[in-house]
Chain A
Amino acid sequence: MAIEVRRSIEEPARVGKLWEAMERGRANRAATIEKTGLDLSAFRDRVRLIKETAAQDPSIAEAFAEAVRANGGRVFFAATGREAVQYVLDVCRANGAEFLVKSKSLTSEEVEMNQGLAAEGIRAIETDLGELLCQVAGEKPSHLVFPAIHMTSDRIARMLSEAYGEPIAPEPSSILSAVRARLRPQFLAAKVGVTGANIGVAETGSIVVETNEGNGRLVTSVPKVHIALIGLEKIVRRWDDAADLVRGHAISATGQRMTVYVSLISQRQPVAKDPAGREFHVIILDNGRTRMRADPWFRDALNCIRCGACMNVCPTYGVTGGHVFGHIYPGPIGIPWTANVHGLEEASFAHLCVSCGLCHEICPVDIDIPLMIAKVKDQDVEAHGQPTAERFFMASEAFAKVACLSAPLANRLLRRGSLRVLMEWAVGVDRRRTLPAFAHRTLRSRFRSREGQVGRVGKVAFFPDLYAEYNNPDQGLRAIEILERLGYSVIIPDVQWSGMPYVSYGRLGKASKLAADNLRVLGPLVDDGYDIVSTEPTAVYMLRKVYPKLLEGSLASKVATHSRGFFEFIEPHLAKLSLRPTADAAGLVGFHIPCHDRALSSGLPAMRFLERASYRVRPVETGTCCGIAGTFGMKSGWLGYDLSMAVGEKLFEQFRESGCDLIATESSVCTLQLQDGLGRPVRHPLDLVRVEGPA
């Protein structure tokens, strides 16, 4: 895996194109959402409801099959991919077909149809341009929506010239004409056409096939026989349900309002009134879906509408590409799908996920992909063991405790090259990564020895997490002091750390236990009128978003609703305070939004806090992660530090070009990454503002 990661990172042309595709995908999507005035959260709720109902109700597939038969079509339920391929083979033989034409179908790739047919002497000709290029090159698609995004036009022209035995100029338009001319006779001679189906509609026994190129239209009209392969989970009950899905596919995949050709096919039509030989077959594929449906960890994956949006935002997919970050299904959602339909052995690319959470944020169906990935990692670690570095970072709290006790010595040692070499060798912490220094006295011990204030406005339980507790108690105290100025009584509850690495490294049992321990402390405080506040975005993310998923029941959701990020919490009261810059002249602050905060407040309250102190603030962002992703970027080598720096490079570049005087972010680990990448100090907003008042 490390070698593959290295190879793909070191191929800048390819990384650049993929990155461009992702950026463009995100920008187009955002623009179309804005233009259509789509209410995204209402849309998410509707799509989710439609898909959830569809994916969980086995009777829908039965009703669909019934309706297809009533229209004169034939239906085959395939329990496995092999059965599906065998059925296609049988239909081809019955019709004397030596080859078939295919329009893009991920499901047919899932069952490895082309290989299965080829082994029996039947050629499947891909007609989607991207898929066709992959087929000619003998490569797997690297992106769900743009399968051949990794190929340049020069390479394509060379490859096709050779394959077609005629010179083809490297201009995209020449390539296009050559492909059109080459494929036409094959379309015209085909006896069998195979498509996937984006949606099945039970009430009329219909399928929806969406293509931009129009190949889907030819595949379903020219050949006498049309076979559609549809995953069980794609069938909805009514046409009313289909409209949102048609919209969702297009917007999230390419930022189009609608796919160019949306074909609603219920049966075969005659040609000039002649129905002879025109057959319609529908294969309904299970291949593990029924099992997924029954699995509370993975049933969410069945709600996927295959739009590819999660791919366009994933930081590590962006630099490694779909060949490394994928098996047949690429990208974030490819991880749970691969683990379930192709087996855990093929899903080891799960460990490339750095748990930034962005895929969940962008998903139009609100699928908690990161949590499913954590489960895949958990299963994989269970089966194959855990790397030492991951074990080390999961013991971060214990390590920090010891380091603090012997802080001056520990800090000296941690700065020393020889110890870092040793640490890299023994536990896999990259020696190039600057680690934060440890404070001699922890936040708790300093908090205890100071005079607390009794406030009348309310009560706050401050959740320090590791950084404020062991590395930077000053920052924690500053936050607490502001809370007290605003009239809050503050305590530091007897909680442990928030435990993100347990999730990132797939130890969900430990994560759940830790969550339960923390909630046992926090629950009664909430009942007693406390709000939970933290300066660490990841801690708030764990409390708000992850604990409720790990533990069912009202305790976790109660604590979640009462947990807030520090700046979000104080924002309504800021008018009471006077805020001034600590620097002599307030300059331009380049602000980095931590990934985990995107699921919360997107850094807005912190940016407004700085603005109130008369800074000019500009978010500097690539739309994805800075690359460190918690402790991932501290691990040594290509599966840690190097990958993390490769992800960060775009962001570093933007900061360099931003002309900002100061750099700020809320997250402690993002701070390390930006400092290492930029060689400049990175400040917490609290360090940049002098707070006084109330008068």
Chain B
Amino acid sequence: MRSVREAHKPSCVTSSIGGGTVLFEPGLSDRFKAALLELKAEPHSATRKESTLEILRSVVEGHRANRVVVANLPAELRSVVSGALQGRSVQFMEDLPSTDVLPACAAAEVGVTWAEFAIAEDGAIVEVAHDDAARLAASLPIVHIVLLPAGRLVRDVGAAMAVVGGILRASGPGQRPTVTFISGPSRTGDIELRLLYGVHGPHSLHVILLEWFEGR
């Protein structure tokens, strides 16, 4: 809340999310990337559409993955993903009959989804899902790739809660999305306190910051 207000300067990026206008703070991108690295998530910066394609391709190749599920992306980005991953099985959850979604996500090695914004200091991306296909695609495969417009960063969890509170209030009863803060890959310390990744959710989390795309 505080930092959103403080950020009320002309240089701020303004976006409209879930019916409300949100102000994002500039200059947080390095902190965000550093926080991601500390959490064992991998940040990538995509300055142009073409580099986005390259990053997607190399990440998927790097994991030797063949089956990719995609959900919750802005329509404009669908072609980017399918273009990048030609020759592999790429399924868009929105196109499938509902009963096929779970098996598709369970069989895929990579899930590509969308983050509405992110929390810089905590290295957390914020997923806003009106459909659980988005959450299944993000949590069942062992690799999760998140696309995020680079300018959409708030400083801390307090600022994020203010935005999310606004979204949830504005959505109205029965129309409220499920919102998830995700900071890093799935992890556990339950065996002898050793930090291990990928126990239930993804073992790898890639965040591609889109510098050329403002969002829906």
Contacts and interface: CB of A to CB of B under 8 A. Distances in A.
A239 interface: yes
Interface stretch (A75-83, A242-250, A299-307, A650-658): A242-250
A267 B201 CA distance: 22
B179 A129 contact: no
Contacts of A205: 173
B102 A129 contact: no
Interface stretch (A50-58, A169-177, A394-402): A169-177
Nearest to B201: A214
Interface stretch (B54-62, B76-84, B156-164): B156-164
Contacts of B193: 17, 20-21, 24, 146, 149
Interface stretch (A252-260, A476-484, A502-510): A252-260
A129 B190 contact: yes
A634 interface: no
Interface stretch (B6-14, B25-33, B91-99, B206-214): B91-99
Contacts of A152: 192
Contacts of B1: 240, 243
Interface stretch (B15-23, B44-52, B128-136, B145-153): B128-136
Nearest to B138: A217
Contact of A217 (B122, B165, B201): B201
Contact of A172 (B132, B173, B194): B194
B186 A262 contact: no
Contact of B162 (A129, A240, A259): A240
A129 B199 contact: yes
A238 interface: yes
A172 B102 contact: no
Contact of B97 (A180, A244, A262, A272): A272
B176 interface: yes
B188 A246 contact: no
Contacts of B74: none
A67 interface: yes
A147 B190 contact: yes
Interface in B161-203: 161-162, 164-165, 168-169, 173-174, 176-194, 196, 198-202
A36 B156 CA distance: 10
B159 to A, nearest CB: 9
B121 interface: yes
B113 interface: no
A633 B49 CA distance: 70
B101 interface: yes
Contacts of B187: 212-213, 260
Contacts of B68: none
Contacts of A269: 129-132, 135, 177-178
Contacts of A217: 135, 139, 180, 200-201
B65 interface: no
Contact of B102 (A149, A240, A257, A271): A271
Contacts of A187: 200
A242 B161 contact: yes
A261 B161 contact: no
B53 interface: no
Interface in A119-164: 127-130, 133, 146-149, 152-153, 156
B124 interface: yes
A587 interface: no
A176 B196 contact: yes
A2 interface: no
Nearest to A244: B158
B191 A214 contact: no
A604 to B, nearest CB: 31
B141 to A, nearest CB: 12
Given A206-B176, A267-B176, A269-B131, A214 B157 contact: no
A264 B179 contact: yes
B140 interface: yes
Contacts of B164: 239, 264
Contacts of A215: 199-201
A222 B200 contact: no
Given A218-B200, A273-B131, A71 B176 contact: yes
A272 B96 contact: yes
Contacts of B94: 272
Given A129-B191, A213-B186, A239-B161, A271 B136 contact: yes
Kindly name the residue among A72, A183, A269 whose own CB sees the greatest number of chain B CB atoms within 10 A: A269
B108 to A, nearest CB: 13
Given A128-B190, A173-B196, A214-B139, 17 more contacts: A21-B193, A127-B200, A147-B190, A215-B200, A217-B139, A217-B200, A218-B200, A220-B135, A222-B102, A239-B169, A243-B1, A243-B160, A258-B119, A259-B183, A269-B177, A271-B131, A272-B93
19 contacts: A21-B193, A133-B190, A176-B199, A184-B106, A187-B200, A213-B200, A214-B199, A217-B135, A217-B200, A221-B135, A222-B136, A239-B161, A239-B164, A240-B1, A246-B161, A263-B179, A264-B168, A265-B178, A269-B130
Interface of B: 1, 39, 93-94, 96-99, 101-102, 106, 119, 121-124, 129-133, 135-136, 139-140, 157-158, 160-162, 164-165, 168-169, 173-174, 176-194, 196, 198-202
Interface of A: 17, 20-21, 24, 36, 67, 70-72, 127-130, 133, 146-149, 152-153, 156, 172-173, 175-176, 179-180, 183-184, 187-188, 203-206, 212-215, 217-218, 220-222, 238-240, 242-244, 246-247, 254, 256-274, 276, 278
8 closest Cβ contacts across the A-B interface? A214-B201, A239-B165, A274-B98, A70-B173, A130-B190, A214-B186, A266-B176, A243-B161
